[in-house]
Amino acid sequence: GAPFDACVEQIDIGGPTMVRAAAKNHPAVAVVTSPGRYDDVTAAVREGGFTLACRRRLAAEAFAHTAAYDAAVSTWLAGQIETDDVADATDSADAAGADSSGSAAPPAYVGVGYERLARLRYGENPHQRAAVYRTAGASGGVAGARQLHGKAMSYNNYTDTDAAVRAAYDHGQAVTVAVVKHANPCGIAVSAAGDVAEAHRKAHACDPVSAYGGVIATNTVVTAEMARQIKSIFTEVVAAPSFDDEAVEILSTKKNLRLLLVEAPQREGYEIKQVTGGAVIQERDVLDAAGDDPSTWTLAAGPAADDALLADLAFAWRSVRAVRSNAVLLAHDGATVGVGMGQVNRVDSCKLAVERANTLGSRSTGDAALDGSQQEKGAVGGADAAEVLGDSSGDAAAPQRARGAVAASDAFFPFADGLQVLIDAGVRAVVQPGGSIRDQEVIDAAQAAGVTMYLTGTRHFSH
């Protein structure tokens, strides 16, 4: 926000120079760059000075500190150059009467410094070493969460919690709960009444089998009622900005359950993904594209949606962002009812979404196949899940939840076959980006079936 020249004036030259000089001379000098080391300084004074090993460790911290500072300055300056280039190009285009649209590219140089917070037992698998880091000088987020209870966080706990927290904040001010397993949603729901326990019941009901051993995140306070529901379900992590005291007391009876206080995530900014020999960097997808506003959607087939149907379509569209591609998501009444994720063709994603919707996740396979002596009461499937959800799913025929639901697809339907799977299952409305060379074929199929279809013009791939 400050003018360029004012920012440049704030760049420190002498301070980093003195710190680096002291660090280079660490055999004779102890350089301290963090208030977190003040207790160590006091102890060293009492004991007659720093050991060489300690001075060497402090020197390494000092160089890391100045390196992070230099990286921040150089990244900022490179970003200013890109912004200037776009402004110059826009001025030239305007003068020539050409298209002046455009935005700054990521900076030509990106320097990121990470500080290790803790070693982890292992990475994704036991043979992989791992640690958790935070961005130098940053606080908050999942990496900086305050743990109230439970076992130490694992690598997979961190990645799943990050995905769950991000999904929980995808719906603005609506009270939201997301249940995530292996970085994919088992269920997402909002509560129009602002009742987080209701949102949790609806999110869990999407797929109780997959929710077993998952991560739960919300954007509001975890109440005692929600805690009582969670207690009977095997869960790895519960993340929230706040917990009621009674909720902490209830959940703390589960000795391994991790309870995390997590601030609202920073939604803007860049994401960095390593590739062999380098990295690819992109702006974070925060559902702020023009096509994420339902008022911009194009009605391509079927009758226009009323307010309730449009609200469900908007919920489904915002929820599908959190699903790994190819992604197709079914929703009803502000809750997911079937999620088809991570398939290499869209037809299979449609089939998976419908299958999950119509079995309530109560298949007799995997975790759901455990007998009563092996699973915790209320954990998954059957009558125990019915007690948690407050329905009769345990002793009744599996409901056809796809019938009357809405669907969202993260990218266009390349053929009408995937859409036909949804139509045959009774889906009443679909929202998708459009843009396929066979769009008309897909639109015609929706029109023939009397299915409402909206095109957003925006895609939400996630890999």
pLDDT one-digit tens code per residue, 37-82: 899 889 998 988 889 999 999 999 899 889 888 888 888 888 787 7
Percent of the chain, pLDDT > 90? 67
- Residue 92's pLDDT band, with cuts at 50, 70 and 90, is low
Highest mean pLDDT: which of 10-14, 31-35, 233-237? 233-237
Domain assignment of residue 47, given as a range: 4-83
- Can you tell me the distance from the alpha carbon of 189 to that of 205, in angstroms, rounded to the nearest whole number? 10
Q: Which helix (H) or strand (E) holds 50?
A: none
Over the stretch 241-290, which tens digit does the pLDDT of each residue have?
999 999 999 999 999 999 999 999 888 788 889 999 999 988 889 888 88
218 in the same domain as 180 = yes
Catalytically annotated residue among 182, 200, 332, 463? 182
120 in the same domain as 185 = yes
180 in the same domain as 254 = yes
Taking the C-alpha atoms of 152, 188, 342 and 314 in order, what is their torsion angle to the nearest 10 degrees?
Answer: -140
Q: What share of the chain is helix, strand, coil (3-state, %, to 5)?
A: 40, 20, 40
Q: What is the pLDDT of residue 84?
A: 62
- Is position 182 annotated as part of the catalytic site? yes
Q: What is the pLDDT of residue 376?
A: 43
- Is position 24 annotated as part of the catalytic site? yes
203 in the same domain as 135 = yes
419 in the same domain as 302 = yes
Tokens representing residue 269 in the block: 């900014």
- Residue 204's pLDDT band, with cuts at 50, 70 and 90, is very high
Token pair 């190009």 in the structure block, residue? 89
Domain termination site, one of 30, 59, 83: 83
Give mean pLDDT, residues 193-205: 96
CATH number of the domain at 76, please: 3.40.50.1380
In a domain, 154, yes or no: yes
Burial label for 170, CB within 10 Å (0-12, 13-18, 19+), is buried
Close Cβ partners of 137 (under 8 Å, ≥ 6 residues apart): 68, 72
In a domain, 277, yes or no: no
In a domain, 411, yes or no: yes
Specify which residues 132 forms β-bridges with.
118
Domain termination site, one of 83, 108, 143: 83
428 in the same domain as 305 = yes
Give mean pLDDT, residues 183-192: 96
Whats the size of the chain, residue-wise?
463
- Residue 420's pLDDT band, with cuts at 50, 70 and 90, is very high
Strand 406-409 to 146-149 pairing: unpaired
SS3 125: coil
Token pair 């594209």 in the structure block, residue? 289
- Can you tell me the distance from the alpha carbon of 322 to that of 276, in angstroms, rounded to the nearest whole number? 26
Q: Which helix (H) or strand (E) holds 222?
A: strand 221-222
150 in the same domain as 29 = no
Close Cβ partners of 358 (under 8 Å, ≥ 6 residues apart): 338, 398, 399, 400, 401, 402, 425
- Can you tell me the distance from the alpha carbon of 39 to that of 306, in angstroms, rounded to the nearest whole number? 64
- Residue 86's pLDDT band, with cuts at 50, 70 and 90, is low
Residue 372 vs residue 201, higher pLDDT: 201
Of 18, 331, 132, 221, give the one whose Cα is nearest residue 340: 331
In a domain, 169, yes or no: yes
- Residue 366's pLDDT band, with cuts at 50, 70 and 90, is very low
CATH number of the domain at 151, please: 3.40.140.20
- Residue 323's pLDDT band, with cuts at 50, 70 and 90, is very high
Residue 388 has pLDDT above 70, yes or no: no
Q: Exposure string (b/e) for 195-216, b if CB count within 10 Å is 16 or more?
A: bbbbbbbbbbbbbbbbbbebbb
In a domain, 89, yes or no: no
Q: What is the pLDDT of residue 85?
A: 61
Residue 91 has pLDDT above 90, yes or no: no
Give mean pLDDT, residues 379-399: 45
Cα dihedral sign for 422, 427, 428, 430? negative
Give mean pLDDT, residues 162-186: 96
310 in the same domain as 423 = yes
188 in the same domain as 143 = yes
Residue 369 has pLDDT above 50, yes or no: no
- Residue 3's pLDDT band, with cuts at 50, 70 and 90, is confident
Q: What is the pLDDT of residue 440?
A: 97
Cα–Cα–Cα angle for 361, 367, 372, nearest 5°?
105
Taking the C-alpha atoms of 212, 216, 221 and 222 in order, what is their torsion angle to the nearest 10 degrees?
Answer: 10
In a domain, 56, yes or no: yes
136 in the same domain as 33 = no
312 in the same domain as 241 = no
Over the stretch 430-446, which tens digit does the pLDDT of each residue have?
999 999 999 999 999 99
- Can you tell me the distance from the alpha carbon of 342 to that of 337, in angstroms, rounded to the nearest whole number? 17
Tokens representing residue 351 in the block: 């089939």
Mean pLDDT of the chain: 87
Alpha helices in 97-187 (DSSP H): 155-168
Of 185, 255, 194, 256, give the one whose Cα is nearest residue 225: 194
Catalytically annotated residue among 24, 151, 255, 460? 24
How many folded domains does the chain comprise? Answer: 3
Q: How far is CA 251 from CA 74, 164, 255, 286, 379, in A?
A: 46, 19, 8, 32, 15
Q: Exposure string (b/e) for 35-62, b if CB count within 10 Å is 16 or more?
A: eebeebeeebeeeeebeeebbebbbebb
Residue 96 has pLDDT above 70, yes or no: no
- Residue 377's pLDDT band, with cuts at 50, 70 and 90, is very low
Of 380, 331, 315, 378, give the one whose Cα is nearest residue 175: 315
- Can you tell me the distance from the alpha carbon of 72 to that of 153, in angstroms, rounded to the nearest whole number? 29
Of 427, 429, 437, 435, give the one whose Cα is nearest residue 456: 435
In a domain, 97, yes or no: no
Domain termination site, one of 83, 98, 130: 83
- Can you tell me the distance from the alpha carbon of 429 to that of 117, in angstroms, rounded to the nearest whole number? 47
**Contact (CB, 8 A) for 276 and 453:** no
353 in the same domain as 253 = no
Close Cβ partners of 67 (under 8 Å, ≥ 6 residues apart): 111, 113
In a domain, 108, yes or no: no
Over the stretch 337-360, which tens digit does the pLDDT of each residue have?
999 999 999 999 999 999 999 987
Residue 391 has pLDDT above 90, yes or no: no
